[in-house]
Amino acid sequence: MTHSLHRHGSRESLRNDFVFLATPAAGINHEGSKEKLIRILDLIYQLGPANIGSYETGTILAGATIEEIKARLAEVPRVRTAFSSREKVKELIRQVKEEDLGLSITVSGLIEEVLAMAQELSIQPHSVNLSLGVHGRTADLPSEEILEFVTMCGHGMISARLVQDTIDRVKKGNLTPEQAARRIASPCVCGIFNPDRARELFQKYVPLHRHVPALAPEGPAARDLGSGALS
């Protein structure tokens, strides 16, 4: 899934940012796969993801419920989710492997982190995709500070202007980092935008006299994302 590969940011910022995708192959094993995807959605939801989304419903951040997402899966269903905890995504992979559902699974993150999880779970990846960066007229791109946010939506649904306006509002104290993260997450309907990472990125824009402390991570890992995908 190349749309999950190009997230910009420091290694520290990306360290605990993972994307998990599950899909059948159209025309090969998609018939009767909805129940399998529903089972995977249940496993994901029980672990507490940062985000889940669907083209048909939008994301849980935009108000969709897990039951709505399950009920409106497409004919060739796909599950897309983001995690902010290495341990959670590793446990999800372990459970999906144990269920042996026969579906394609892709995990994106820092390549050394994803490879390490595969080794720890005795999984031999079928293939590896690596991002080689962006080439061409890069001077026309937004600033690195903006790219850290917009590249979390691999379909390009989050605009640079929305991010800049949101940064300005945080600087003025009109939005908290958490409110800002949810605001810019809304246009990304597929579910791979990570609001936890976005919240941490917004922290540096909080006025010193109105500093809003970062919320503690839910799991043993903190926040971040990556540049490699295994399937």
- Series of mean pLDDT values for 10-residue runs along the chain (231 residues): 84 95 89 93 97 91 93 89 97 97 94 96 94 91 96 92 97 96 93 96 86 48 46 57
Measured CA to CA, the distance from residue 185 to residue 62 in angstroms comes to 8
User: Which pLDDT belongs to residue 1?
Assistant: 52
User: Which pLDDT belongs to residue 231?
Assistant: 57
Burial class (CB in 10 A: 0-12, 13-18, 19+), 224: buried
Q: CB–CB of 73/34 below 8 Å?
A: yes
Q: What is the DSSP letter of 69?
A: H
Q: Which residue has the tokens 């605009």?
A: 159
User: Which pLDDT belongs to residue 223?
Assistant: 36
